[in-house]
C-alpha cells in the first residue's frame, strides 16, 4: 500500500496585530488549526503520491455569529467600555472594523466576557477626526431637527458665527456638520450652553443612561402660589419671557416663597411617576434660582417649579460638567479644545 505524506497545516491568516486594538483582558486559549484531510484510497485508487496543495486562506474572515443567549450585544459592550456610542459601534461593525475571536463580527452579534473583541485602528482614526462644538443658543432655535417651522440650532454653525476668541486652533470645514447632533437639549425658549457633537463617546458621557455628569442652570421665576398646574410633558408652557397679571409676585420672590417648597425642589418631587434624583437648588438672587441636576428629563426644571407654585420666565444653562459657557457671545460657537474635557 503506497504511503501518502500528509501536507503541513496552514493556520488561518489573522489581520495584523498592529492594526487592531484588543478589548480582551484575559488571554484566550489558542485553538488548533484545521488540518486538511488526505484523499481516501477507496475514492481515488490512482491518486498521485505528491502532497495535496495547502488550502487557500482568505484575507478577510467571513462574518461570525457568536451565539450566546445570555450574552451582551456587541454594540452595547463597546459602548459600556466607553469606546463609542451604540450607533457608532453599529457603524464600525458595518465597516468590518470589529472582530470577535479573530473573525469579522456581524450586526446584532452577542458576546460574553470570555470572547475576545478587537477593533481596527481605522475606527480610532475616524474618531480622532470628529469634533464637538459649544454653542450659546439664543431664544427661538430648537436643539434638534426643525419642528413647527422653527430653525434648528445647527444652522448657526458656520464660519460667520465662529467666535474669534476660540483658542482650540481648529478651523471649520463643511464635513464638521456631518452627523453633528445635540447632546442634551435646550427648549426653544431656553438659552445658553448647547453641545453639538459628532463623537459618540461625548454624547454617551453627557446623556447616556448611566451618565452622572451634572449640569448647571440659572432660572428666573415668579411665584404664582396656590395649587400647582399639571401639564403633559409635551405641552409647551407660555413663552418664558412673558409675565402677565396672573403672576402675583415677580419681585423679591425669595421673600415669599415657602422654605418647604425649596426643600421639595431639592428632593421629593416626581415626574412621569418616577422620583427625581436629588438636585442642588439655591437662591442666586431674590428672583433667580440656581439648579444643578444630574439628569435631564423633558422640560424638567419648568415642571419641577410648577409643582411648587413657581413659574419659570427665563432659563439659561451655564455649565455641563467641567465645561463652562463663559463669555461665549449669544449666537456664536467654538470648538471643544483638544485636552478640554467634560
**Can you list the alpha helix ranges (DSSP code H) found in 71-197?**
74-80, 86-95, 121-128
Measured distance CA(199)–CA(76) in Å, rounded: 16
CB-based burial of residue 215 (10 Å sphere; 0-12 exposed, 13-18 middle, 19+ buried)? Answer: buried
Q: Is 187 a catalytic residue?
A: yes
Q: Report whether 253 contacts 286 (CB < 8 A).
A: yes
Q: Report whether 89 contacts 205 (CB < 8 A).
A: no
Measured distance CA(227)–CA(42) in Å, rounded: 94
DSSP 311-327: EEEEEEEEEETTEE-TT
CA-based Rg of the chain, rounded to a whole angstrom? 29
Provide the b/e sequence for 220-230 (b: ≥16 CB within 10 Å): bbbbbbeeeee
Residue from 187, 199, 210, 272 carrying the catalytic annotation: 187
Contacts of 9 by beta carbon, 8 Å cutoff, 6+ apart: 33, 34, 35, 36
Per-residue cell: 129: 477626526
Per-residue cell: 331: 449666537
Q: Closest Cα to residue 124, out of 154, 155, 84?
A: 84
Q: Report whether 310 contacts 222 (CB < 8 A).
A: yes
> Which DSSP symbol is given to 147?
B
Q: Report whether 195 contacts 134 (CB < 8 A).
A: yes
Q: Closest Cα to residue 76, out of 63, 94, 88?
A: 88
Q: Report whether 157 contacts 135 (CB < 8 A).
A: yes
**Catalytic positions:** 187
Amino acid at each position: 500500500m503506497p504511503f501518502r505524506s500528509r501536507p503541513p497545516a496552514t493556520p488561518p491568516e489573522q489581520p495584523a496585530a498592529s492594526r487592531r486594538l484588543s478589548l480582551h483582558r484575559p488571554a484566550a486559549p489558542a485553538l488548533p488549526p484545521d488540518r486538511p484531510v488526505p484523499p481516501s484510497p477507496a475514492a481515488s485508487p490512482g491518486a498521485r503520491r505528491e502532497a495535496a496543495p495547502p488550502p487557500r486562506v482568505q484575507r478577510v474572515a467571513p462574518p461570525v455569529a457568536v451565539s450566546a443567549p445570555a450574552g451582551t450585544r456587541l454594540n452595547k459592550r463597546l459602548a459600556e467600555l466607553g469606546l463609542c456610542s451604540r450607533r457608532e459601534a453599529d457603524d464600525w461593525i458595518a465597516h468590518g472594523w470589529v472582530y470577535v475571536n479573530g473573525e469579522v463580527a456581524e450586526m446584532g452579534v452577542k458576546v460574553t466576557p470570555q470572547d475576545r473583541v478587537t477593533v481596527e485602528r481605522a475606527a480610532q482614526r475616524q474618531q480622532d477626526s470628529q469634533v464637538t462644538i459649544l454653542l450659546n443658543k439664543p431664544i427661538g432655535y430648537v436643539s434638534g431637527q426643525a419642528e413647527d417651522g422653527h430653525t434648528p440650532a445647527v444652522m448657526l454653525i458656520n464660519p460667520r458665527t465662529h467666535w474669534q476668541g476660540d483658542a482650540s486652533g481648529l478651523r471649520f470645514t463643511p464635513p464638521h456638520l456631518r452627523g453633528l447632533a445635540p447632546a442634551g437639549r435646550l427648549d426653544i425658549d431656553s438659552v445658553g450652553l448647547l453641545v453639538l457633537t459628532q463623537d459618540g463617546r461625548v454624547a454617551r458621557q453627557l446623556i447616556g443612561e448611566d451618565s452622572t455628569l451634572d449640569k448647571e442652570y440659572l432660572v428666573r421665576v415668579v411665584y404664582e402660589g396656590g395649587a400647582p398646574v399639571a401639564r403633559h410633558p409635551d405641552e409647551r408652557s407660555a413663552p418664558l419671557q412673558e409675565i402677565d397679571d396672573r403672576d402675583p409676585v415677580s419681585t423679591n420672590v425669595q421673600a415669599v416663597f415657602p422654605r418647604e417648597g425649596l426643600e421639595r425642589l431639592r428632593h421629593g418631587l416626581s415626574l412621569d411617576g418616577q422620583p427625581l434624583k436629588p438636585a442642588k437648588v439655591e437662591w442666586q438672587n431674590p428672583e433667580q434660582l440656581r439648579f444643578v441636576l444630574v439628569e435631564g428629563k423633558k422640560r424638567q426644571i419648568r415642571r419641577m417649579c410648577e409643582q411648587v407654585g413657581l413659574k419659570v420666565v427665563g432659563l439659561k444653562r451655564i455649565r455641563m460638567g467641567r465645561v463652562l459657557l463663559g463669555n461665549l457671545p449669544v449666537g456664536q460657537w467654538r470648538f471643544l479644545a483638544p485636552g478640554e474635557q467634560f
